[in-house]
């Protein structure tokens, strides 16, 4: 990762924008000149790079603490080692998580494979689409059993830690995690009807997660211990962003004892040693200038968010749809990894899913925010529906990324709505507040009266042309009707 001092200094404007999202006080960033404010202070910029490098690991740990800080599975939370099974899609009253989906039911869990392996068993999925990506502590998707990769039959895996050596029972495939912390983020396709809910619930109940030492034995996961000191109300990103540099680097150093850097990170590891961050050791805060303790997080997070606008191709914008195909596996692209952590923690590999998002209509050189007072139409010409081997959908959100209450309780639209096709073979999606009429209602995506956002989900995108991955399939714009 190369971060020039001028780029970060100029990024003061980015800090202002990011402040509104992170809980920072942007007034402090306004004072930054568009010159290097710390000329000659090399350690400051090394600390900024270290902050960006460690942002995924710190965020994953804080997410784990919040998600697992319950005595038993309830809703989207569950103790370590438990499978958390979401049983239905949320409605417009749900505000626990931004950008919820109405296409797949989650089956998830956090495990610590540092002491012993954990076994994940998945039943025969028959013809149902699914994927169970496994993320390490740095948010890398190191394995992803699913329809695309391992097929539909029953399968059993042992997730082993970075130092584990041993023999596994017959019929169990080893997936070695680079870190002790592992997040399993299973998704199973569901149409959302009562009949299909019942079928998916049965599949979820056949999934098993248990420590290797319990293999072949009856095992019930123990109740979780609730820590009253963990903040369960403040958003994880805000909790991370309000840490000062000493608190942040102390936690990062502690986490790296069991979640080590990769060999490719050698250059960054050497740099971080200059400011007291050495893998396997406690943070030596005496090497960090106390003048920088609060400024480092502000500048670093501003630089992360600035990458959304100035990504050198990492983030694309086509016809008003912003998206990236650089997710899940990052190598040494630390800025991209940190940005995806900040705006889309848990992102899949692009071969499994791409999420184009549109917040405004493409209108010549300028774009205008979508407004429910207007009617819009998105047209897919004949033979140009989203090219996927899994499924596609378009989800409607209000300007805060939550579902929109509407008279037909439809939060997303996809091929499962039995979309009507025009005589010329084209398919129109009507995006508006009022019904377009009974003859078009199958193709209607209800919008709120105010501002709204569109998100397209493409699961298992076709990798042969036309494909969104290589840019040969172009997303059509939503235009005023």
pLDDT, one tens digit per residue, over 246-299 is 999 999 999 999 999 999 999 999 999 999 999 999 999 999 988 889 999 999
In a 3-state reduction of DSSP, which class is residue 400? coil
The answer to whether residues 48 and 200 touch, using CB atoms and an 8 Å cutoff, is: no
Residue 28 confidence (pLDDT): 32
CA angle 400, 405, 411 (to 5 degrees): 80
Residue 162 confidence (pLDDT): 93
The answer to whether residues 445 and 431 touch, using CB atoms and an 8 Å cutoff, is: yes
Residue 27 confidence (pLDDT): 31
Residue 348 confidence (pLDDT): 96
CA distances from 152 to 60, 205, 352, 460, 461 (A): 30, 17, 15, 14, 18
The CA distance from 38 to 41, in Å, is 5
Q: What is the DSSP letter of 27?
A: H
Residue 291 confidence (pLDDT): 87
The answer to whether residues 372 and 432 touch, using CB atoms and an 8 Å cutoff, is: yes
Report the first-to-last Cα separation within the chain, whole angstroms.
45
The answer to whether residues 169 and 215 touch, using CB atoms and an 8 Å cutoff, is: yes
Residue 111 confidence (pLDDT): 98
pTM for this prediction:
0.89
CA angle 340, 345, 348 (to 5 degrees): 80
Residue 328 confidence (pLDDT): 97
Which residue, among 100, 473, 440, 459, has the nearest Cα to 321 in the 3D structure?
A: 473
CA angle 417, 438, 454 (to 5 degrees): 50
Structural domains of the chain, ranges and CATH numbers in brackets? 5-62+234-306 (1.10.3360), 70-214 (2.60.40.1610), 346-480 (2.60.120.600)
Residue 10 confidence (pLDDT): 34
In a 3-state reduction of DSSP, which class is residue 9? helix
The answer to whether residues 466 and 388 touch, using CB atoms and an 8 Å cutoff, is: no
Residue 97 confidence (pLDDT): 76
Residue 41 confidence (pLDDT): 60
Neighbours of 410 (CB within 10 A): 17
In this structure, the strands spanning 104-112 and 84-85 are: antiparallel
Residue ranges for the chain with pLDDT beneath 70:
1-42, 363-366
Unique residue bearing structure tokens 């692009």: 350
């Amino acid at each position: 990762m190369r971060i020039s001092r001028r780029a970060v200094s100029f990024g003061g404007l980015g800090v202002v924008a990011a402040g509104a999202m992170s809980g920072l006080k942007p007034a402090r960033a306004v004072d930054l000149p568009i010159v290097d404010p710390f000329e000659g202070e090399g350690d400051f910029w090394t600390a900024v790079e270290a902050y960006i490098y460690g942002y995924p690991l710190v965020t994953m740990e804080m997410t784990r603490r919040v998600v697992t800080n319950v005595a038993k599975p309830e809703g989207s939370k569950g103790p370590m080692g438990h499978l958390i099974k979401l049983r239905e899609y949320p409605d417009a009253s749900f505000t626990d998580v931004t950008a919820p989906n109405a296409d797949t039911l989650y089956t998830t869990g956090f495990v610590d494979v540092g002491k012993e392996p954990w076994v994940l068993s998945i039943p025969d999925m028959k013809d149902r689409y699914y994927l169970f990506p496994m993320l390490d502590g740095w948010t890398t998707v190191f394995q992803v059993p699913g329809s695309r990769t391992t097929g539909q039959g029953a399968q059993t895996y042992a997730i082993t830690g970075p130092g584990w050596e041993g023999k596994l029972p017959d019929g169990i495939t080893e997936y070695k995690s680079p870190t002790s912390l592992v997040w399993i983020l299973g998704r199973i396709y569901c149409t959302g009807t009562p009949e299909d809910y019942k079928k998916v619930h049965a599949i979820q109940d056949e999934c098993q997660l248990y420590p290797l030492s319990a293999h072949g034995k009856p095992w019930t996961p123990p109740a979780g211990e609730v820590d009253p000191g963990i903040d369960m109300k403040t958003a994880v990103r805000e909790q991370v962003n309000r840490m000062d540099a000493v608190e942040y680097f102390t936690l990062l150093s502690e986490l790296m004892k069991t979640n080590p850097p990769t060999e490719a990170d050698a250059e960054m590891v050497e740099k971080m040693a200059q400011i007291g961050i050495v893998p396997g050791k406690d943070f030596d805060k005496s090497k960090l200038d106390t003048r920088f303790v609060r400024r480092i997080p502000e500048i670093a997070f501003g630089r992360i968010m600035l990458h959304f606008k100035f990504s050198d191709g990492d983030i694309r914008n086509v016809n008003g749809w912003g998206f990236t195909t650089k997710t899940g596996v990052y190598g040494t692209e630390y800025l991209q990894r940190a940005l995806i952590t900040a705006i889309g923690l848990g992102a899949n590999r692009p071969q499994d899913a791409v999420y184009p998002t549109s917040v405004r209509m493409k209108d010549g050189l300028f774009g205008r925010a979508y407004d429910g007072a207007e009617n819009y139409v998105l047209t897919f010409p004949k033979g140009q529906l989203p090219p996927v081997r899994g499924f596609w959908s378009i989800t409607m959100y209000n300007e805060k990324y939550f579902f929109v209450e509407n008279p037909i309780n439809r939060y997303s639209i996809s091929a499962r709505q039995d979309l009507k096709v025009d005589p010329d073979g084209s398919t129109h999606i009507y995006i508006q507040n009022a019904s377009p009429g009974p003859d078009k209602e199958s193709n209607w995506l209800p919008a709120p009266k105010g501002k709204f956002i569109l998100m397209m989900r493409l699961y298992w995108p076709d990798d042969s042309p036309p494909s969104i991955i290589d840019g040969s399939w172009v997303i059509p714009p939503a235009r005023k009707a």
